[in-house]
Amino acid sequence: MKFLKKIVSPRSSFQKQLLMTVSIGIVFLALASSLTTAWLASTSAHGQLVQQGTQVAQNFADQSRLALLVGAEENAVDSAHATLAFPDVYHVEIYDLGGDVLLREGAVVDWEPAIDALPRHEGQLLSHETDRLIHFIAPVFTGRSDADVSPFEATAVEPELIGFVRITMTKEALLLEQKLIFAQNVVISLSITVVLLVFLRRIVGRMTTPIQDLSQIMTRSEAGETALRAAEQGPAEVVHMAHAFNKMMTALEDRDQRLREQRDGLEREVALRTLELVQARDEAIAASRHKSEFLANMSHELRTPMNSILGYTEMVMEELEAIGQAESISDLKRVQNSANHLLSLINGILDLAKIESGRMDIFIDPVNLHELIDQVADTVRPLMKKNNNEFRIEIKQDADILAVDSAKLQQILLNLLSNAAKFTTNGTVVLDVAHARHELKVAVRDTGIGMDVAQQARVFEAFRQADMSTTRHFGGTGLGLTISQRFCAMMGGRIDLDSTPGKGTRFTVYIPLPIAENNEHMERQSFDGASPQRDLGI
């Protein structure tokens, strides 16, 4: 199979593969038959030559008996000449028992037999073959013919070995005959092969032409041509394939027609739905903008009376303290705390509304990182003490100047630390700050209640907490993390969250430095009318 693959490429045409395969088989068959026939004929001719040499050697041995008995060479000359007259006889010799030559006639030969190897039994024959010659050595015995033996003799006379004869026959005629036989067989086989190949080519052409036509039709169809049909002619299998191809083309054309009709209908429907969606989106954006503007304006209007309430409450508390009515101050402190809480809620709503309406800007200025951290720590320490939490700060500053929006960074830290203090009791809260040249990294980790995966998925949604039951237990509006995420995104950063229920939570803030001046413009587009969606790596 590997030999055929080297000669006939698997990617060549079916006609070529079939012709080459069958042609190679026929050529090999012709060569094999020629070689086999020549070998058989040569073997037969060789056997006939050996048989002829054996018979001539035995006849010459009978004719040389008298010459060996009397030791006279002239008694065997006529027999030697008669033997040399046989076809292919090349050389004759007569030896006595001692191996001495009594007679030698014919051409010179270069092989002499050993005395010990000479045959010494009646009927025994020694033969030796070379490239050009075959040597036959026969023993010569005394004795009479069967006609000369009297039936009245009491005992038979045993034959006695008296010498040897050698006949050498040439193989030139045999070799010539072998070459002639081989040449004749090759010529005959090649002639038959040529005739068979011509006949085979026509037969294969009739068989494969319909297949080639069908292949060309399929190639044109693959290139994109339509309305193609194959001729249903040729062998039964090819006709069946062409019929199946025609049916397939008809089915494909019908399917394409239906698909075009469905596509046109879908395009019209998609265009209509797209127009409706665009209108709905524009209406939603307008409604969201109006909502944000309303919240911003309303929050601003609410802050004025709240500040008045706080101011008058503080004045009354100072007057009561001055006149010595301290027992009434506790009630006013509750009013003050409620007003501060409401003002904080209003400020959060106002910040969120400004972000969504695109009215929140970034103000980048140099910041003393240690002073900012100290201010944040002073603010959250009462919250830490309230739940008996240990609060640690770790700062690593590898760069000189930090240029960020200090107010927004401070708000982010306050929100994250407030949440950590609120959801951790008798635990630890750690603020880890790392200021490098190209990045500010802030991590807030606690040993609080933690969150599962479902809670982490909605923790950054506005007005939502990880679990709505926490609102009743811990309080809060659910705006702190949302605003922190938006502030961080406005500065080109992100917040990552890692939490395990029962073990604690880690918020990590990444802010790239320096902050791009056009970040605020990009964030305005992101928050215009819709909340941004960001991959937080939860």
pLDDT in tens for each of the 538 residues of the chain? Answer: 555 555 556 666 666 777 777 777 777 887 888 788 878 888 888 888 888 888 888 888 888 888 888 887 787 888 888 888 888 888 898 888 877 888 888 887 877 787 777 777 766 676 777 888 888 888 888 865 444 445 555 555 678 888 888 888 888 888 888 788 888 888 888 888 888 888 877 877 777 777 777 778 888 877 777 777 878 777 777 788 888 888 888 888 888 889 988 999 899 999 999 999 999 988 888 877 776 677 666 666 776 777 778 787 888 888 877 787 777 777 777 777 677 767 766 776 777 677 766 667 788 889 888 999 998 998 889 889 999 999 999 999 887 778 888 888 988 999 999 989 999 999 999 999 999 888 999 999 999 999 888 888 888 876 555 555 544 444 455 678 888 888 899 889 999 999 999 999 999 999 998 876 544 433 433 334 333 333 322 2
The answer to whether residue 55 is domain-embedded is yes
Q: What is the token pair recorded at 286? A: 């307008």
- Statement to judge: residues 31 and 130 lie in one domain: yes
Residue 238 near residue 210, CB atoms below 8 Å: yes
Which of 323, 343, 359 is the last residue before a domain boundary?
Answer: 359
- Looking up tokens 């070459």 gives 179
Is residue 463 in a domain? yes
Assign residue 177 a region (left: φ > 0; alpha: ψ between -120 and 50; beta: otherwise): alpha
What interhelical angle do 480-490 and 329-357 show, nearest 10? 40
Q: Which of 359, 377, 407 corresponds to the end of one domain?
A: 359
Residues 6+ apart with CB under 8 A from 29: none
Considering only CA atoms, give the Rg of the chain: 60
Residue at a domain's end among 359, 393, 410: 359
**518 and 431 part of one domain:** yes
| Both tokens assigned to 470 | 């926490």
Domain match, 302 and 259 both: yes
- Tokens read off for 526: 């992101």
The CATH number covering residue 207 comes to 3.30.450.20
Residue 131, pLDDT score: 80
**For residues 464 and 519, what is the distance between their CA atoms, to the nearest angstrom?**
27
Residue spans of beta strands (DSSP E) within 318-461: 365-367, 390-397, 402-404, 428-435, 439-446
Please answer whether residues 301 and 356 qualify as being in contact, where contact means their C-beta atoms are separated by less than 8 angstroms. Answer: no
Assigned domain for 337 exists: yes
116 lies in the same domain as 193: yes
Are residues 217 and 272 both part of a single domain? no
Cα distances (angstroms) measured from residue 337 to each of 298, 312, 340, 374, 418: 22, 14, 5, 24, 16
Domain that holds residue 315: 228-359
Task: State whether residue 300 is helix, strand or coil.
Answer: helix
Could you tell me the strand order of the sheet in which 161-170 lies? 101-106, 89-96, 161-170, 133-141, 126-129
Structural domains in the chain (count): 3
- Sequence-separated (6 or more) residues with CB below 8 Å from residue 21: 4, 8
Task: Give this prediction's pTM.
Answer: 0.42
- For the chain, the maximum distance between any two Cα atoms, rounded to a whole number of angstroms, is 190
> What whole-number distance in Å separates Cα of residue 427 and Cα of residue 413?
19
Q: Are 441 and 402 in contact (CB under 8 A)?
A: no
Q: Are residues 302 and 372 located together in one domain of the fold?
A: no
Same domain, 372 and 515: yes
End-to-end CA distance of the chain: 60
